[in-house]
Amino acid sequence: MYLTTSPIDLPSLLHESRASDGAVAVFIGVVRNENEGRATTRIRYEAYGPMAESEMDKIAEGLRREWPAAQVRMMHRVGPLEIGEASVAVVATSPHRADAFAACRAAIDRIKTTVPIWKKEYHPDGSSDWVDPTRGSTGREDAPDRIRGS
């Protein structure tokens, strides 16, 4: 299981390292209080649960092929989250740090790309937006495109 509606249990993810592991790389995604300059008061993640589990399983398979020495564990929170709470955690262990760092980075990058999970941001004025990373914004029609011209 890669999805949870409860707070992510980081100690249990960290606890699973092997005696041969000399490196543990950890990424934790945390709910921020703003996005694109607009204040966020809370967020809610929604998932296509069975497909998200399956896609994360495919990511895990790919990571095992590409970094056979590494062991990667991933957990994504769904449902309502408050500012400062962990939304996603990746723990990659390996005999040496290069594989742990690389597998950890690849895992979170792939999670953001293929796993069917959506994020709704709530603002102080009571409005809300579904975040659309493909637009470099929160999906508002008037949002600035920060990528253009860079």
DSSP states of 75-134 as a string? EEE-EEEETT-EEEEEEEEESSHHHHHHHHHHHHHHHHHHS-EEEEEE-TTS-EEE-BGG
User: Minimum Å distance from CB 120 to another protein?
Assistant: 7
Nearer to another protein, 52 or 100 (CB): 52
> DSSP state, 138?
S
List the one residue from 16, 118, 145, 146 that touches another protein (CB under 8 A): 118
Nearer to another protein, 69 or 120 (CB): 120
Q: Does 119 bind another protein (CB under 8 A)?
A: yes
Task: For the chain, give the longest Cα–Cα distance.
Answer: 53
Q: Does 76 bind another protein (CB under 8 A)?
A: yes
Identify the helix (H) or strand (E) that includes residue 10.
helix 10-14
Q: Does 4 bind another protein (CB under 8 A)?
A: no
The answer to whether 137 touches 144, Cβ cutoff 8 Å, is yes
User: Minimum Å distance from CB 75 to another protein?
Assistant: 12
Q: Which residues bind another protein (CB under 8 A)?
A: 29, 45-48, 50-52, 54, 76, 87-88, 108, 111-120, 130-135, 139
